[in-house]
């Protein structure tokens, strides 16, 4: 069981998708497809829970040593001619994201229960996407990592392009082109590492030992710097980091609710995870040289995302821009790895990984809640645009007073909004505070500017809540039913996690800290 569980986590969704095709032709096959997807993701969630309780973060494969492997590692030959291996493993860096992926996939299957269009295609593509995401977080061979990275591309393209909103085709194509552009740079960086490392291997652990010996120039630049730049661009597009962010708001707005949840909750984290898993331990000297630039980009992300969120009238687009802002906190924490203060670099790096998990939970809850109100109102306007088709509603509030008709729903939204703005006692506060502590220990001026993001977050979240749930609506068609039991099932687990890790973050920190410390040690040696 222990030796096979990681492979099962990766390929179980693929088996589930294959099972759907075997069920083709059965009576009421649409409901059969849904139950197969639900059962598959439920089993995956249970296995992830078992992995969590049997995982010891202190007994991991050392990131700078090939000895003393953990139980949860599989290393098998695959393509011997090019020294490519089926090499997968889990440590404190990947474990929170594996947990997040399993939970959100299960929730999203429930949230997608009303899908009626091309049911077989939708749920099979969803499970294929699950396989790609799990593979990325568990791969320890760069070539294998890249394959799973690309596997995600096509399912997401079709899920946005077929089941999305009015501009779904444009959004899907833009997402595809941006991601493919980033993949090209990842491929170039991967190939360069393979040849210039001198070991002709894609094994990440072996590359960590070999990468510091890379020398030489190419086109007048140091090869290592070019490799860093190629990898950074590839991962930056996925985060997304300014100015590679323009695909995100459109993709979120046009994507169906469950796809928005996965896009913001999981896919954005792959960019920062890739930097921490590959770029940081392989190219520590470049990390040091680039740290100030990364901190600047982090501040731009925080302020730019927040100011754009304030300007939005579409509730879903507001949440999308808030994701850009909150990923900036992750980048700031990552940049603080160069701090000479042990408490500073530890707080920043731990905060960055915590923020990846916490933001995934919070933003998933936000998009689910936005989807619920959209299902009832068939619009997401906080304030109707001035050129709205109905001239009587143009420029007026889209909702208003919903706390009277939807009190339970308004309570869940309040928790999600407060978590998003970083209220103490909720999970967003802890991780953001750690990122600021780390940032201030080395980038004092930039961190002071970044704290403006807290104020701006409060502006758009509180204003949106006031406009939607308080006062009276100018739109008379707002007598909606309150949140249903099925909808509560999707958001209640996320609510529990937000409160739990807000008051007791130790279970998350204890998993993350040993793996993060190994990355810190690699970089601190060069300072």
Q: In this predicted structure, what is the pLDDT of residue 62?
A: 45
The radius of gyration of the chain's CA atoms, rounded to the nearest angstrom, is 22
Contacts of 94 (CB under 8 A, 6+ apart): 137, 138, 273, 277
Q: In this predicted structure, what is the pLDDT of residue 280?
A: 92
Omega cis (within 30) before 225: no
Q: Tell me, yes or no, if the pTM score tops 0.95.
A: no
Q: 177-197, pLDDT tens digit by residue?
A: 988 999 999 999 999 988 888
What does the block give as tokens for 386?
A: 């001035």
How high does pLDDT run on average in the chain? 88
Q: 256-312, pLDDT tens digit by residue?
A: 889 999 988 898 899 999 999 999 999 999 999 999 999 999 999 999 999 999 999
Contacts of 281 (CB under 8 A, 6+ apart): 63, 64, 208, 518, 519, 522
Cα–Cα distance, 516 to 91 (Å, whole number):
10
Q: In this predicted structure, what is the pLDDT of residue 201?
A: 85
Q: 307-360, pLDDT tens digit by residue?
A: 999 999 889 999 999 999 999 999 999 999 998 888 889 999 999 999 999 999
- Asked if pLDDT for residue 172 goes beyond 70, the answer is yes
Q: In this predicted structure, what is the pLDDT of residue 388?
A: 78
Cα–Cα distance, 205 to 324 (Å, whole number):
31
Which of 312, 319, 318, 470 lies closest to 385 in space, CA to CA? 312
- Asked if pLDDT for residue 415 goes beyond 50, the answer is yes
State what percent of residues in the chain have pLDDT above 70: 94
Reported as a pLDDT band with limits 50, 70 and 90, residue 3 is: low
């Amino acid at each position: 069981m222990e030796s096979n569980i990681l492979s099962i986590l990766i390929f179980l969704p693929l088996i589930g998708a294959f099972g759907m095709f075997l069920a083709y032709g059965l009576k009421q096959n649409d409901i059969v497809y849904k139950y197969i997807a639900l059962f598959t993701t439920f089993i995956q969630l249970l296995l992830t829970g078992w992995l969590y309780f049997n995982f010891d973060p202190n007994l991991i494969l050392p990131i700078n040593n090939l000895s003393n492997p953990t139980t949860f590692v599989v290393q098998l030959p695959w393509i011997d001619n090019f020294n490519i291996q089926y090499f997968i493993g889990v440590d404190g860096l990947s474990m929170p994201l594996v947990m997040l992926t399993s939970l959100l996939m299960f929730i999203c299957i429930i949230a997608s229960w009303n899908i009626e269009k091309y049911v077989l295609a939708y749920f099979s593509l969803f499970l294929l996407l699950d396989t790609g995401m799990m593979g990325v977080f568990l791969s320890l061979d760069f070539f294998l990592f890249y394959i799973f990275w690309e596997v995600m591309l096509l399912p997401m393209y079709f899920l946005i392009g077929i089941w999305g909103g009015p501009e779904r085709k444009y959004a899907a194509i833009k997402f595809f082109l941006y991601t493919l552009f980033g993949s090209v740079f990842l491929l170039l960086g991967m190939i360069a590492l393979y040849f210039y490392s001198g070991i002709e291997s894609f094994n990440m652990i072996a590359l960590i030992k070999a990468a510091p010996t890379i020398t030489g120039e190419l086109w007048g630049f140091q090869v290592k710097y070019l490799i860093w730049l190629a990898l950074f661009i590839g991962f930056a597009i996925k985060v997304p980091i300014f100015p590679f962010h323009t695909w995100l708001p459109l993709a979120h707005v046009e994507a169906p609710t469950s796809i928005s949840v996965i896009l913001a909750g999981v896919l954005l984290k792959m960019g920062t995870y890739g930097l921490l898993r590959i770029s940081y331990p392989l190219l520590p000297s470049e990390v040091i040289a680039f740290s100030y630039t990364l901190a600047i980009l982090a501040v731009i992300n925080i302020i730019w995302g927040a100011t754009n969120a304030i300007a939005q009238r579409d509730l879903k687009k507001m949440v999308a821009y808030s994701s850009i802002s909150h990923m900036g906190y992750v980048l700031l924490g990552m940049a603080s790895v160069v701090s000479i203060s042990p408490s500073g670099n530890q707080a920043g790096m731990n905060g960055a990984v915590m923020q990846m998990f916490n933001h995934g939970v919070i933003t998933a809850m936000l998009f689910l809640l936005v989807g619920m109100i959209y299902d009832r109102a068939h619009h997401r306007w906080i304030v109707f645009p001035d050129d709205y088709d109905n001239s009587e509603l143009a420029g007026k509030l889209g909702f208003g007073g919903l706390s009277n008709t939807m009190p339970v729903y308004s309570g869940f939204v309040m928790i999600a909004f407060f978590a998003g703005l970083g209220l103490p006692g909720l999970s967003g506060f802890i991780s953001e505070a750690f990122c600021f502590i780390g940032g201030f220990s080395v980038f004092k001026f930039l961190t002071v500017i970044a704290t403006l993001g807290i104020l701006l977050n409060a502006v758009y979240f509180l204003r949106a809540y006031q406009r939607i749930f308080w006062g009276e609506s100018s739109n008379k068609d707002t007598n909606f039913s309150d949140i249903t039991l099925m909808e509560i099932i999707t958001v209640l687990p996320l609510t529990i996690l937000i409160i739990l890790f807000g008051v007791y973050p130790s279970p998350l920190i204890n998993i993350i800290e040993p793996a993060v410390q190994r990355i810190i040690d690699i970089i601190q040696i060069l300072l």
